[in-house]
Structure formats: structure tokens, C-alpha cells
Amino acid sequence: MKVWALVSVLLIGLLLLWAEGDIPAFGDPSAPSYNYVADRYITDAYNDTATKNMVTSILADYRGYDTLGELTVIFTAGVVVLLLLRRGGRL
């Protein structure tokens, strides 16, 4: 069982290292997020959302489903931690 776990971790690690090669460098001005998405958010934020604050319009309107997904993951992780602590008698 420990061998299977080690092999799984090594394979996932190799997969992550391989996939990391496709990620643009931090702050790279030629990254797609700087060239396509950011310009649209800046120019169309007020007209699309009628929100005066650009950060709020991006988080609440453009990326609303993504933000909801992130909150769901954080909530689920918190519930799992509480369940594990309760099961171990530490809570």
C-alpha cells in the first residue's frame, strides 16, 4: 500500500512539473491575461455592470461563478477539518 501511495505521489508530482512549463512567468507582459482579458475588464467594466468600483465588478459579475466555486472549496475544507477534529476527539 505504501508503494502504491509513493508511486501515485511521484506520478502526480511529475505531471505537475510537466504542466508547469506551460505557465507564463510571473509578471510576463506577453501573458494572455494581460493582453486580452485585462483590457476588456478595464474598458467595459462600468458599462457592463453599472458598478462604480472596478474590483467589485470583476469579482462579483465577471468572475462570480469562479468566486462562488472558491468559497465552496474553502467551506468544504473547513467542514472536513471540523469533522476530522470531532472524530479524533479533539473538538
- Residue 57 is which amino acid? S
- Residue 90 is which amino acid? R
- Contact (CB, 8 A) for 82 and 91: yes
pLDDT of residue 8: 96
Q: What is the pLDDT of residues 1-13, one digit of tens each?
A: 799 999 999 999 9
Q: How many residues make up the chain in this entry? A: 91
Domain that holds residue 4: 1-24+31-88
Q: Say how far apart CA 85 and CA 82 lie, in whole Å.
A: 5
Mean pLDDT of 48-70: 85
User: How many other C-beta atoms lie within 10 A of the C-beta of residue 31?
Assistant: 15
When divided into structural domains, the chain yields a total of: 1
Q: What is the pLDDT of residues 5-50, one digit of tens each?
A: 999 999 999 999 999 988 888 888 888 877 788 888 888 888 888 8
pLDDT of residue 30: 84
Residue 73 pLDDT exceeds 90: yes
Handedness of CA 47, 53, 59, 60 (dihedral sign): negative
